[in-house]
Structures are given as structure tokens and as C-alpha cells.
Amino acid sequence: MNNSLIKIAQPLLSIQGQLASWSAVTSQIHTSAALCRVVSGKYRITKKRDRPLTYEMANPPHYIAHRKTWNSWNTSNLKDGLRRSETAVEDEFIRRFMTGTWHGLMCSEVIIKRQFNHIRVAAIVRRAVSPTKMYFLLGYTEELLANWLQCPVTLELQTVDSFQDVVFKYI
Amino acid sequence: MYSNIILPRQWSRIACFCRLSTIEGQKLPQSGKSSDGISPPPRIPRGPTDILQALAATVGPDPTAAHYKYHDDPYLIPLSNYRKRAYALSAEAGRKAAAWIRDEHASLFNTREWDPPSKLKTPYYNADPIIDAFEPKPIYNEESKVTEEDLKYTINNALLDDSIKIFQLLGGIENISEETKLALLQFLCFYNEKEPDSMEWLEERWFSANVRERQLATWKLGGLADKIFASIEPKTPEAYCAVIQGMAKHYQAERAHALSQEAIEKGIPLSTEVFNSLLACVGFLREGTALRAEALKGLLTQMGEQGLSPNEETLTACLRSISSWGGGKMLQELALQVVAEFKQLGIQPGLSAYYYLLCLFCKERGPRIDILSGILVDLENRENLDAKEPTDTNFFITAMGVCSDHLQDINMAERVHALLMKGDNYKLVGDAYKESIYYRHLVTVACRHAPFERTTELLDTLVPNVYVPEPSVMEEIIKTLEVAGAGERLAQAWSQLVVFGIAKRVRLVERLLSAMSSTYEYQTEEVKGKMRDAAADILKFGKIAENEQNAKDLRTPVQKLSANAVSNIVELCSDVKDTADANWDAVSEGIQRLKQSDATGVPSRPQALADVALRAATAGKLGIAASAVQYLAECGFEEAVPASIQALGAVLNRPQEEVETLLEKQRADLTKAVHPSALALVDAYYLAKTGAPAREADSSTSSDSDSESSSDDE
């Protein structure tokens, strides 16, 4: 079945150049379920009311730009923005890389800000390892991400003593 | 709908392109006026980074923040020299680890993250656009199929070991073209077949222990460079120039000179650079100043015969030779002669030339010669100072050293510092080692010769972000603070010692304590309180350090404070009226330490302890008063007797004579007359008087006193 799909897709690929100018239209179509509006980005209250939430988690998505801001800052999603899917995949890659490399240290969402060809990655980390090790990880992350993403990457970290410091409320 | 929007955009782009092309095409008026009265300024050609540099120039250095290579977070900002070094190098170690992964597992980096696997165009590297800085470095081994292109690539990127490997893989001298052979020869000669430090690792270069280059013949005789040179037939001027410069650079002076003579005899033209390098090592040929000067002049005339005009490096090379031959009137005159002659030719000495002049004229043990002010006038008038030679970075550190050790002139030092801070001259500071020596000189001269306000202003801007004082400089600073009687700053100095990681240096702490005790009485009550707290903290810190030592079994034992220092602490801390003050704990702790001989030596001012005993007695701390007097008595100080009498007087609230008559009595009687806790003072008195405790002295007469006193205790 897959093969047949590709066969159908192939003649389409030949007119890809013409389609490119219409990509703005195609990206308008949403296929996700309407339910998401109610549950996505929100946290369920626990029985014991002991689930810790950071400020970012405590505010549901409709508060974006009112009480909290975006986790990704870029111009891809503006009208005529470039590299939409690429940016999304890259951002996800950066987030996973950060949580894996700074294992158990991340206390907040990873904020990714793009300016020109420069990516700034901001986060709050725990002071669980010595500053020397933190500097090692800093240099390592910056260099490796820069090589993958082919552009300068800067980490902008802030440290807190423990995860408790970023807890906004318990639900 | 969308095409409507896209179209105008494309049109505008085309229009923009047309406009640009007309601007490029037409001749722009330099200062003409157009008919409508608007005159555009003439176009200035810009480089790709000019705007960035202009932006950077608007931001001055901020001494209140840590260097930007450190992360701006309280936990990650280094405050001591050790930490500055450790943090910067760890970050670089992380970078190195990442670079190693990139080179070792290049296959993980050959696609862009967001691309599906079908987009893989080549199995190696698919970046688009290709950016050189992010390309994986090629790895060459025995099986690599290499071409001459690879050799050229390694030469251009200064990969010495790789280029030698490729050279061997290519099959040696016969299989490469003359052009590449020459390039390789120049490359090998420049680095003397030693892999240069990579330019990529800035911190490593910045912090690398900079050992002064020793003038030894390090040129590899019969090495690859020599072999390649021998194989070049006929020998071109470039080949001669490369090999002579390489030999001269690595102090193979005799062979370099022999080769240059050979070349001249053969009629091969040599470049100015070759003569410059020969001039720099001319001293290796002859012994004795006169002969060397002769040889130098001979080379210069030879240069003239060849029709070569000297340049700035020629002057530097001459001065470098002259300054390395020692000192003395004759050499100094020769140097001035050379400089004057070059000035006539219109060649101004550069920073390196001035550096060698300073080396020659300002010897540590020599007459004071002020050539620096003339040099500064010249340099201050220059638009900007460019680094042209590696030795240029030696100028500022030497100039500041001259200000501090030779001229001992703060005004001159400030002028040098202002020059370093002007524009982007700070790049000439060299590396971490040179920078710290530079500031060491600056702070030392400021402490010794500047007015106090200027010194503190300087210290406030420099410490701790720009410069962390070393122990010797810290001592100098403490001395200055003591002379100025700045009690608050002395109290701060202790916390600085802790932060800078030099609080375990006993000599420094003792110096600080004596400074504190000598300035203490002139301070206001508030400052006095701070100084007391600092003194109490010193004692606490010592105790913590000791516990740490016991727990960890350190290799270098923690040095103990001397009795002098401890008595200083005790004296400072005891100056409180409030009996509930926490500082009394520090006092008793200090006296305990003295008594257990945990402190080396004996205090030099026993009167201080006598005062402490009196104060303690007045405050009702009888235990402390007694142990202070006891300690004095045990050490055999004369002050013990009057101290115990005074303390007793204070306790009993009686005049001194009465106490003296009281003490004349037998101890047994005293036990009844005096409060038991004051008995310790009486004991101390007897100990001081007779050299033995009171109980033993009159145990025969009052055998029941022991039991009585013990019953009193209960």
C-alpha cells in the first residue's frame, strides 16, 4: 500500500515547484480533534492535591500572551514565514537534547529564541552539580547543538537551589 | 489570492535590484551638490563585520560584571583566580568533547535534523549552505586516498601533523609539484615541524602557563624541512628565504648566517624579512658586546648593499638583539643611535621596539632613567595601536612593571593604564598570566604611592571581576588600609580573603589581624562592631578548617594562627559592654586555644590580654577573666600580677590597695572572704607571684581548702 501511495505522490512531486507558492494555503488546514481545546496544555487535579506546577504549567494555553509567553520565539509561524516544519522539528530536538543532557536538572520548560541565524536556549536548572561540571555541560551543549543546527547556539541558564523554588502551586 | 501578494513582492525585489545596480554602475559624486539641494554623502565601502564592530564600540567594558565568557548567574560567576581558570577551561573542555564526538562520529552529523532520510544527497555531508566552521574535520590515516589538494588544504589550515602524513602517503618529495613543495617548506620552517596550538581553543591559549621562551637552538637538523630544501633544484630565492628564516627563528643562527652568505655569493636576492630574522639572532655568532655590535652593523650595511630598505620589524629585530646582550652605557647609546637613525628614515618604533628599549634602560638595580614618559607621549598621540608582532603584548606589562618597580610613579602608571583602556587597546594585554602581572604591578604602585582615595577607587573597579589580588598584593592592600585607618575596609578584607580562597594563608590573616587591632580604637561604634564580627569569624573559620583537616586527612596540614593573632582576636572581640554578646564566646574560645597551646609562640603584647581580663571581670565574665590571667601567669608574664589584682578589684568592686592587702592573707581565709568564682583569679595571682598554683604553695597550711572549695563548687 505504501508503494502505491508513493506512486501517486510521484507525479505530484514533479509539480512541487508550483505547489511551493501555495504552501501558505495548505498549512492553514488543521486536522486535530476539537477536544484538544479543552484538555491540551492543562493539568488534571490530583486527589491529594500534591502535583507541583510551575508558573508556566499553572497557566493554561489561553493565557499565552496574557499571563505567560511562548516557549518558542521565532518568525516561522508568521505569515510568509520560512522553514515552518524545520523549525518545529529543530525545537523539539533541542528540547529533548537539553532534558537528556542536563539530566534531572531541568526545572522549567526550555525556551528557544531565534534571532537571525542565532538560537538562544533559556532554561532554569537545579544546582545539583558543581559549577565546573555545569560549565562543561554548557560548552558541550552549545558546541554540539551548533554543529547539528549549523548556526551559533547560546545557552542562557539560570540556577535555582531546588525544584521547590520554581513550584508555583500544587493541584 | 496569494499570488497577488507574491507578485508585488517580486516586483519590488526586481526594482530594488535595478536600483542597486544603478548605484553600483554610476560614478558617485565625492562632494557634489545635486540640483535639488540634497547632497548624499559619499559612499563608504564596508566590510561584513563593520556594523557589528561599530555596535560593539558603543558598549564599554563593565567592571561590575564578570567577563562575558562566564555565565551570568550568581552560582556560576567565579570570584577567585582558581575558579576563573577552572570555569573557563571546563567550558572549553565541554566544547572539546563535543568536537571529538563530531569528528569521531561524523556520520551522525551528515544530515540536517529536520530532513527525512531520503533527502540524503551524499553519504558524507549535506549541509546547505556549507559553512566551513561547522564542517567535520577530515581525518587522515594510512588507508586514506589523498591528493595534492588535501596537502594544500592541510597547509592552508595549519594542520602540521596531517600535512606530514599526507606528504608521506603521496610518496615523498618526488610526487608533488614544485609549488606545493615550496608551500610545505615554508609551513614546516615557520612551525619548526611542531604542531601549532589550535586557534580554536581560545581559553587554553589564554590560560596556558606561559613559560618564557628559552633561546635554545631548537631547529630540527636534518629534519623534513632540510630534506625538502635539499631536494629543491634549482634553489629558488623563496626556498632560501623560507629555510633561513626558519633557522633564524629557531636559533640555529650559524647555519642561517652561513646559508645567507651562500645565497648572497650565488647572487640570489633575499628579502627584508630574512635580514630581519638574521638581525634578531646576530648575537649568537660572536662573543662580547663590541664584536656583536660590529656584526649587527655589518649586517645592516649588507642589507643596504642588497638594495633593501629596512622596515619597522628591522628596528625591532636590532633592538631585540641589543637588549638581549645585557645592559650598560655602550649598548644603551647604541640603541638610541639605532632608533634615531630609523626615525630619520621615517620609521617609528612599534610597541615591541619600545618593549626592548624599556628592557634595556630600566634595569631593576640601575639608575632611574625616565624614558617611559617620552614613549607614552608618542603612543598617546597615535590613532590606534595595532598588534604586529607577538612581542607587542609584552609592552604594557613591562611598562607597568617599570612604573611600579623602577620609577615608582603613580601618575605614570595611570597614564599607562589609560592608554591600555583606550579604544580596543586592551587586546594588547596578552594572556591571563600577563594580565594578572600587569594588574599586580598597577595595584602595588597604587597602594604604595597613590593617595588613598585613588587607591580605593581603583580597587573598587578592578576587584574582583577584572582582577583578583594574589596573596602578596593582598598584603600590600592591607598595609595601605592600615596606614589609612580604614576599619570598615579591613573588615571587608576578611570576607574578600575567604571569597578569593586565600583565607588559609596564615601570614596574611595575621597581617590583617594586627592591622585591625592597630586601627581599631579610631573607628566609630558601628565599624567597631563589624571589625569584631570579622575577628570572631576568623576564629570560626580556623576551627572549621581544622575540622575539615581532621575529617579528610589532608596532605598539607592547616597552619595554625600564632598566639599573637589569637590575642588580637581576643582583644578585638572583648570590647563589648553587653554581657550577652555572642563575641564573648569567641573570646573564651580564643583564650582556650591559647591555653591549650593551639597557637604557636606567645603573644608579644601581654598587656592586651591583661586588658581583656579586666574587661571580662567588669562584664561579669569571671571565667574568661580568670583564664586570661591564668594564661598570662603560666607564660610567666609580669603583667599577670597587676592584671589579677585589677580584675579582682573589678570583681569585688574595691580599690586596688584593699585588694592587695586582701591577697596578703592566707588562701584559706580568702576562700571564705571571696566568692568562689573569683578564687580562680586569686589562684592566678599566686601562680604569677610564686610560680606555682596557690593550692600547692600552701597546701601544708590549709589542707582542708580543697575540700572546702570543691564543696563550694557544688
pLDDT tens, position by position, B211-231 = 666 677 778 877 888 888 888
Q: Does B87 touch chain A (CB under 8 A)?
A: yes
Chain A: give the shortest CA distance to residue B76, in Å.
6
For the segment B452-471, what is each residue's pLDDT rounded down to a tens digit?
Answer: 999 999 999 988 888 999 99
Break chain A into its structural domains and give their ranges.
41-170
Instruction: Show which of residues 6-25 on chain A sit within 8 Å of chain B, judged by CB atoms.
Output: 21-22, 24-25
Between β-strands A72-73 and A167-170, what pairing exists: parallel, antiparallel or unpaired? Answer: unpaired
Secondary structure (H, E, C), B635-681: HCCCCHHHHHHHHHHHHHCCCHHHHHHHHHCCHHHHHHHCCHHHHHH
Chain A: give the shortest CA distance to residue B209, in Å.
20
Instruction: Show which of residues 36-65 on chain A sit within 8 Å of chain B, judged by CB atoms.
Output: none
Chain A: give the shortest CA distance to residue B113, in Å.
7
The answer to whether the Cβ–Cβ distance between B75 and A131 falls below 8 Å is: yes
Coil, strand or helix: which one is B481?
helix
Distances (CA, A) of A144 to A74, B135, B220, B647: 21, 12, 39, 73
At residue A16, the pLDDT reads 43
**Among partner residues A93, A158, A159, which is closest to B113 by beta-carbon distance?**
A93
- Taking domain A41-170, whether its CATH number is 3.30.300.20 is answered by yes
How far apart are alpha carbons A100 and A111 in whole angstroms? 15
- The answer to whether the beta carbons of residues B392 and B428 sit under 8 Å apart is yes
* Residues of chain A positioned with their CB less than 8 A from the CB of B102: 143-144, 147
Q: Which own/partner contact pairs does B302-305 have at CB distance under 8 Å and 24+ positions apart?
A: B302/B264, B302/B275, B303/B272, B303/B275
What is the helix (H) or strand (E) element at residue A154, kind and residue range? strand A153-160
At residue A84, the pLDDT reads 85
* Residues of chain B positioned with their CB less than 8 A from the CB of A89: 113-114
Distances (CA, A) of B86 to A134, B81, B313, B471: 11, 9, 38, 19
At residue B667, the pLDDT reads 64
- C-alpha atoms less than 13 angstroms from C-alpha of B128 in its C-beta half-sphere: 10
How far apart are alpha carbons B451 and B459 in whole angstroms? 13
Distances (CA, A) of B280 to A169, B58, B244, B248, B324: 73, 41, 12, 8, 10
Q: Does B53 touch chain A (CB under 8 A)?
A: no
Q: Which of B4, B55, B71 to mutate to test the interface with A (most CBs of A within 10 A)?
A: B71
How far apart are alpha carbons B701 and B686 in whole angstroms? 15
Give the distance from CA B507 to its chain's centroid.
21
Strands (E), B71-177: none
- The answer to whether the beta carbons of residues B662 and B645 sit under 8 Å apart is no
Q: Which of A19, A143, A151, A154 to mutate to test the interface with B (most CBs of B within 10 A)?
A: A143
Q: Does A157 touch chain B (CB under 8 A)?
A: yes
Cβ burial B596-619 (10 Å sphere, 16+ → b, else e):
eebbeebbeebebbbbbbbbbbbb
Q: Compute φ and ψ for A114, nearest 5 degrees.
A: -115, 130
Number of CB pairs, chain A paired with chain B, less than 8 A apart: 91
| Max mean pLDDT range (A57-61, A119-123, B563-567) | A119-123
Q: Which stretches of chain B drop beneath a pLDDT of 50? A: 1-26, 694-714
**Among partner residues B94, B112, B127, which is closest to A136 by beta-carbon distance?**
B94
Secondary structure (H, E, C), B85-104: HHHHHHHHHHHHHHHHHHHH
Give the single-character DSSP code of A43: -
Q: Compute φ and ψ for B131, nearest 5 degrees.
A: -110, 125
The answer to whether the Cβ–Cβ distance between A133 and B90 falls below 8 Å is: yes
At residue B670, the pLDDT reads 67
Break chain B into its structural domains and give their ranges.
69-104, 469-604, 606-713
At residue B409, the pLDDT reads 87
At residue B18, the pLDDT reads 41
**Among partner residues B73, B95, B109, which is closest to A140 by beta-carbon distance?**
B95
What do you get for the CA distance between the two ends of chain B, in Å?
105
Q: Does B86 touch chain A (CB under 8 A)?
A: yes
